Structure 1
Amino acid sequence: MLRRSAASPQFRLPLRAALALPLAALLGACAIGGSASFDSDPPQPFPQNYRSEIPAFLRTYLNNPAGLRDAAMAEPVQRPVDGRTRWVSCLRFTPRGGTLQDMAIVHVDGRLDRVAPQAGELCTGVVYAPFPALEKLSR
């Protein structure tokens, strides 16, 4: 009777395939789960003209922009907004006859885009500096 050993060529091929299959699956998972993504958001440019765009915007956005007091603004910071990284400018001011308000303005592609609804979350930890241009607003 003829005995086949485990070292014979007929048994080596299935053993190699059995070992290669998990290795190929592991390498494929690494390639799929990598950090590169085709649908990732491109880096946003810094909003260069934010100091002039914000007062011009607030002149039309606020019902009565005249008489703002205690105006302050923080330098734009990058924050996640709707799942994408955006530059956000944080403002703080007191309207005439009102109470202190916080506002976050979102910039997209280096330009002012919109007012964010949750200024408190977006502006956590920013450092405010006086912004007299807001106090000079009028219609």
Structure 2
Amino acid sequence: MIVLLPATLSACAAVDESKPITFTEDRGVSSQPFPKNYRTEVQSFLRTYLNDPVGVRDAVMAEPVERVIGGRQRYVACVRFSARESDGGYREPHERAILFVDGRLDRIVENAAEPCAGLAYAPFPELEKMTR
């Protein structure tokens, strides 16, 4: 029988602050494939990312474009929407950048002003129709 002490568990959860947390391994490839299923992947991710995915308003999305992020070429899709708050109200729409590595969703960037600058947005009704 193996017993893990709290100190042992916390060591497992430690994160190297100098490296971002990502879902996919970064092979450092400069030519990235276009993320074919980006709309579906973004919707699925946001369903789990948001505290309450029901009732999203003003959802728009920009198609993925190539940008240099952290010194590496990436496809970035930007979304802007208002999510329902715990009190039932809404804040102003917030912009987020979704990064893709090797054609798959890798991570979300909350401070998205720079990677999303100058992109053209189109309605994203699938996001507004999400359920739990």
TM range (shorter): 0.7 to 0.9
1:46-83 deviations in Å (ceiling 9; x for gaps): 00000111111100011111111110000101111111
Bigger Rg, which one: 1
CA RMSD of superposed structures (Å): 1.5
Structure 1 segments of 4 or more deviating over 2 A? Answer: none
Residues in 2 aligned to 1:125 and 1:119: alpha-carbon distance in whole angstroms: 12
Residues in 1 aligned to 2:79 and 2:37: alpha-carbon distance in whole angstroms: 15
Query: Which residue is equivalent to 2:96?
Result: 103
**How many residues align structurally?**
101
Structure 1 gap segments, 5+ residues each: 1-39
Q: CA deviation at 1:138?
A: 1.8
Structure 2 gap segments, 5+ residues each: 1-27, 85-89
Q: Which structure has the highest helix share of the two?
A: 1
Identity, % of aligned positions: 56
Alignment of 1:1-139 (within 5 A): 41-96=29-84, 97-139=90-132
TM-score when scaled to structure 1? 0.69
Q: Secondary structure at the match of 1:76?
A: strand
Residues in 2 aligned to 1:48 and 1:60: alpha-carbon distance in whole angstroms: 21
Higher RCO structure, 1 or 2 (CA under 8 Å, sep 6+): 2
